[in-house]
């Protein structure tokens, strides 16, 4: 059984080699995190806001407080949750009963901030999900719903359909038609998408090996580089959902945000405005991911660029309903006031 022993030794050596490489990667990443990134924050940033702003009444004091928060933190775009879409592509009016009053208050207290209607749903894939974007009638109803929100005075439409796979032509068709609508109204179109694949060639392998019925849960719905470029060319803004990292150390989380910031801005930063999503919530099973680590990672990713992108870029704070005063103070210290 000499070949068994040789195979075992080879496996042990291979494992040891892999662990050494992982250790070197971790040491390099950790060392990089000890130095302060040079890049500072930007004046173009976004915030995902809770549904209650359109669904419930608020006082003038609450509207003024919201406007003050947006101005102090240089938030230029707010994605006010206004959906979700029903399976037919509509949104019941009762869900946004106070949207017009919100828009009036924003025009009064924060006229320089774009309030966008944040609309989305679980995209039907392989029989799983709620909204079938492959159905032309559903896409048409989605556009009718968009018109309603633009008529209410929203300055843009922000889509968040999940999951979106890099062969989803129906989603691109919806973006193209929505862009025609928003441009005709002098409004913006933005979209939230997952971070890039680590390697594009892995997507077909996942699709071939994973059971068809499980794709909507297990097959990573991440855009390839070509698909993200196509999305960017159809939108005024792209928000990357970089959060939910599920990595065990702050060094690895920081690398994640730095790498995706660098890759994304290199790829589409000259094509569209980019917001890199950063979290203020506390994941139950993820003690390494937090706002300071994410912000430092984004700044480090910007440092890696040879030049700034041609289009504006910033961060998207997820989310208003999980961000407390301490988070905002840290955001200002680690993002806005750096380099001033």
pLDDT digits over 51-105, tens only?
999 999 999 999 999 999 999 999 999 999 999 999 999 999 999 999 999 999 9
Q: In terms of Cα–Cα distance, which of 31, 39, 28 is closest to 296? A: 39
- Cross-strand pairs, 116: 79, 156
How far apart, in whole angstroms, are the C-alpha atoms of residue 40 and residue 31? 20
How far apart, in whole angstroms, are the C-alpha atoms of residue 285 and residue 280? 15
What CATH number is given for 43-336 in this structure?
3.20.20.80
Res. 258 pLDDT band, cuts 50 70 90: very high
pLDDT digits over 268-294, tens only?
999 999 999 999 997 766 679 999 999
Q: In terms of Cα–Cα distance, which of 33, 49, 25 is closest to 294? A: 33
Q: Name the more confident of 8 and 171.
A: 171
How far apart, in whole angstroms, are the C-alpha atoms of residue 11 and residue 24? 20
How far apart, in whole angstroms, are the C-alpha atoms of residue 288 and residue 251? 8
Q: Using N-to-C axis directions, what is the helix angle for 291-303 and 250-268, rounded to 10°?
A: 40
Average pLDDT of the chain is 88
- Cross-strand pairs, 274: 238, 313
Domain boundaries, given as residue ranges, for the chain: 43-336
pLDDT digits over 151-165, tens only?
999 999 999 999 999
pLDDT digits over 205-255, tens only?
656 655 554 444 445 789 999 999 999 999 999 999 999 888 999 999 999
Q: In terms of Cα–Cα distance, which of 75, 35, 106, 36 is closest to 315? A: 75
Number of Cβ within 10 Å of residue 112's Cβ equals 9
How far apart, in whole angstroms, are the C-alpha atoms of residue 23 and residue 17? 10
């Amino acid at each position: 059984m000499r070949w068994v022993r040789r195979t075992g030794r080879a496996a042990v050596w291979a494992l040891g080699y892999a662990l050494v490489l992982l250790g070197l990667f971790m040491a390099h990443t950790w060392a990089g995190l000890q130095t302060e990134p040079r890049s500072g924050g930007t004046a173009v940033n976004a915030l995902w806001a809770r549904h209650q702003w359109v669904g419930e009444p608020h006082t003038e004091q609450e509207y003024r407080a919201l406007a003050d928060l947006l101005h102090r933190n240089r938030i230029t775009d707010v994605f006010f949750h206004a959906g979700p879409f029903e399976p037919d592509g509509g949104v019941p009016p009762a869900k946004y009963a106070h949207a017009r009053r919100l828009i009036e208050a924003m025009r009064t207290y924060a006229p320089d901030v774009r309030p966008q209607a944040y609309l989305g749903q679980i995209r039907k894939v392989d029989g799983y999900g709620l909204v079938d974007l492959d159905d032309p009638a559903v896409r048409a109803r989605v556009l009718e719903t968009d018109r309603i929100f633009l008529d209410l005075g929203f300055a843009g439409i922000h889509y968040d359909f999940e999951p979106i796979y890099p062969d989803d032509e129906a989603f691109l068709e919806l973006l193209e038609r929505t862009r025609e609508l928003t441009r005709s109204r002098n409004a913006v179109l933005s979209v939230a998408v997952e971070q890039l694949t680590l390697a594009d060639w892995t997507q077909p392998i996942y699709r071939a090996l994973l059971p068809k019925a499980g794709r909507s849960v297990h097959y990573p719905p991440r855009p390839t580089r070509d698909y993200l470029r196509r999305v960017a060319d159809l939108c005024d803004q792209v928000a990357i959902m970089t959060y939910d990292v599920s990595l065990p150390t702050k060094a690895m989380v920081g690398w994640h945000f730095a790498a995706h910031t660098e890759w994304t801005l290199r790829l589409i930063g000259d094509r569209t405005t980019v917001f890199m999503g950063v979290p203020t919530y506390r994941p139950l099973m993820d003690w390494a991911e937090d706002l300071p680590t994410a912000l430092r990672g984004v700044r480090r990713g910007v440092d890696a660029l040879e030049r700034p992108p041609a289009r504006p870029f910033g961060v998207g704070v997820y989310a208003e309903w999980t961000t407390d005063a301490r988070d905002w103070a840290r955001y200002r210290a680690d993002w806005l006031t750096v380099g001033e």
